[in-house]
Amino acid sequence: MTSSDLPSDPSGVGGDQHARVRDAAAARGLSIDIRERPAANSLFEAAALLGIDPSGIVKTLVVKRSDDTYLFALVPGGRSISWPKLRALVGVNKLRLPEPELALAATGYERGTIVPIGSTTDWPIYADETIVGQRIAMGAGAHGYSLFVEADDLIAAYGATVADISVPEQPRD
């Protein structure tokens, strides 16, 4: 399903968010594909539903600086932010994940749907080097959808900084 084939959304929320995402992508010459998908209980389930490797799902994490500005960190599934690496790259001593309401205020998107495309503010983007050369899936601005894009095109369109900013996730007990 492409973004033009999306089912109607009676609440209007998904449609508004998708229009915002599509308009922002078009303004930057970025080709995207938005697909409806069922809810998933894990990264592995989501990857199976989408027919991709878990590392092909990229989390857009909103990161708050101590001066109340933000940045986006793009981290593939199965990996987590390396806080020491990201702090060194950004040149700050403190970074943190904000509360859900702050992330929403900073981007216009709820957690689980966040994507840099169409964010209410174009915060700087830091992309983990492992996504280079990949077609990736990420949030699409509304729950129940995934956005597919070529990582290299996204990086170029937004002037993202590419670096080693992640570590493999530790298994949870």
User: Is residue 116, in this structure, part of any structural domain at all?
Assistant: yes
Residue 166 reports pLDDT greater than 50: yes
Angstrom distance (rounded) from CA 116 to CA 93:
24
User: Is residue 141, in this structure, part of any structural domain at all?
Assistant: yes
CATH number at residue 53: 3.90.960.10
Prediction pTM value:
0.89
User: Is residue 38, in this structure, part of any structural domain at all?
Assistant: yes
User: Is residue 37, in this structure, part of any structural domain at all?
Assistant: yes
Mean pLDDT of the chain: 90
Q: Which domain holds residue 140?
A: 3-168
User: Is residue 173, in this structure, part of any structural domain at all?
Assistant: no
Residue 4 reports pLDDT greater than 80: no
Domains contained in the chain, number? 1
User: Is residue 81, in this structure, part of any structural domain at all?
Assistant: yes
Structure confidence by residue, pLDDT tens digits, 82-137: 999 999 999 999 999 999 999 999 999 999 899 999 999 999 999 999 999 999 99
User: Is residue 132, in this structure, part of any structural domain at all?
Assistant: yes
Q: How far apart are the first and last CA of the chain?
A: 37
How buried is residue 108: exposed, middle or buried, by Cβ count under 10 Å (0-12/13-18/19+)? Answer: middle
User: Is residue 82, in this structure, part of any structural domain at all?
Assistant: yes
- Identify the band that residue 165 occupies on the pLDDT scale cut at 50, 70 and 90: very high
